[in-house]
């Protein structure tokens, strides 16, 4: 979504972020969250690590080189590395300063960061200088992904969708849920309602046994090909180049390598069919929608058969 500079904010949105004036009547602020301790500790910890590494670089032998003999290349490389080491702590320090001033504004009752809801539309301003304006005629819906109802432990993302684009940020940055935005809009326009889910409530749930078997077979073929290639390689090493079986073993190694290559391609193909080109096992329909509520399990819904298919596979989750 395109960012709007604060100096170019149209009225009445510009008046909503004026800290010197009270929030206009009829405007609701869903405030951003404030983590002063976490935002303060991260730049300190990374800054201390960066200083330690910079000191180690300074103590390295390249700093003792003679520029007239070695040139200035070692110094330029070291200087670039030192600047890179300081880039992340400085970025986090800037974020910590934004959080600190937001905390002060919150205690004074002057906080103007978060999601503003007014009769004219929505203004997302999670930090100074980053404003996104959405009028209600452009607004489609707000949602969290992965859904709160799912068992997916990935970091939640707050999504504001328009009819042309969308704005995404971590859900932990805002003290709000999508329903608050929907409720506000419904008070302004009683006939408005959020888009209905594609999945019908009376849908059947079935296990896709065939896809799971194909993926399992592909994984077993890859394992067998790997073991075969390792076995032939070991036989070549043990037999030696003077063995009468050397040429046959070399030919067998080439066949095993091609078999392994085909097994790898087959694994990626089968996984790609599940992730991007899944087809309904019953009617063969393409471009099925993934059921977000089932995450991290990979389920697809076929609206023609009214069936939710369980592929038996899960999304690999991050460790954070």
In tens, the pLDDT along 188-233 reads 999 888 887 777 778 888 888 888 788 889 989 999 999 999 999 8
| Rama region for 56: left / alpha / beta (φ>0; ψ in -120 to 50; rest) | alpha
Task: Note the pLDDT of residue 261.
Answer: 93
Alpha-carbon separation of residue 147 from 72, 109, 177 (angstroms): 54, 32, 11
Nearest partner of 133 among 118, 111, 149, judged by Cα: 118
* pLDDT surpassing 70 at residue 145: yes
* pLDDT surpassing 90 at residue 139: yes
**Measured distance CA(235)–CA(253) in Å, rounded:** 10
Read off the pLDDT of residues 42-91 as tens digits, 9 standing for 90 and up.
666 666 777 776 666 666 655 555 666 666 676 677 777 777 777 777 77
Task: Note the pLDDT of residue 121.
Answer: 94
Task: Note the pLDDT of residue 70.
Answer: 61
Range scoring the smallest mean pLDDT among 9-23, 111-125, 138-152:
138-152
With 0-12 / 13-18 / 19 or more C-beta atoms within 10 angstroms meaning exposed / middle / buried, residue 195 is exposed
């Amino acid at each position: 979504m395109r960012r709007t500079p604060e100096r170019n904010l149209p009225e009445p949105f510009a008046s909503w972020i004026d800290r010197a004036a009270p929030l206009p009547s009829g405007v609701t602020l869903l405030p951003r969250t404030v983590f002063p301790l976490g935002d303060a500790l991260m730049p300190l910890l990374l800054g201390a690590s960066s200083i330690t590494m910079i000191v180690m670089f300074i103590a390295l032998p390249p700093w003792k080189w003679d520029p007239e003999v070695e040139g200035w290349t070692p110094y330029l490389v070291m200087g670039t590395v030192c600047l890179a080491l300081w880039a992340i702590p400085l970025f986090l320090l800037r974020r910590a300063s934004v959080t600190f001033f937001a905390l002060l504004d919150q205690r004074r009752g002057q906080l103007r960061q978060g999601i503003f809801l007014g009769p004219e539309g929505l203004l997302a301003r999670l930090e100074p200088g980053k404003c996104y304006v959405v009028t209600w005629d452009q607004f489609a819906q707000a949602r969290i992904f992965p859904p709160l109802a799912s068992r997916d432990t990935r970091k939640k993302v707050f999504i504001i969708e328009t009819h042309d684009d969308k704005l995404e940020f971590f859900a932990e940055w805002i003290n709000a849920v999508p329903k608050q935005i929907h409720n506000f809009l419904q008070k302004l326009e009683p006939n408005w309602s959020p888009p209905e889910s594609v999945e019908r409530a009376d849908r059947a749930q079935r296990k896709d046994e065939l896809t799971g078997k194909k993926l399992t077979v592909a994984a077993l073929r890859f394992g067998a090909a790997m073991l075969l290639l390792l076995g032939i390689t070991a036989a070549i090493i043990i037999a030696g180049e003077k063995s009468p079986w050397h040429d046959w073993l070399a030919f067998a190694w080439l066949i095993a390598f091609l078999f392994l290559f085909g097994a790898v391609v087959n694994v990626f193909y089968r996984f790609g069919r599940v992730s991007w080109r899944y087809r309904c096992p019953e009617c063969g329909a393409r471009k099925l929608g993934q059921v977000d509520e089932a995450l991290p399990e990979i389920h697809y819904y076929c609206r023609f058969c009214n069936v939710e298919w369980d592929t038996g596979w899960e999304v690999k989750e991050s460790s954070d």
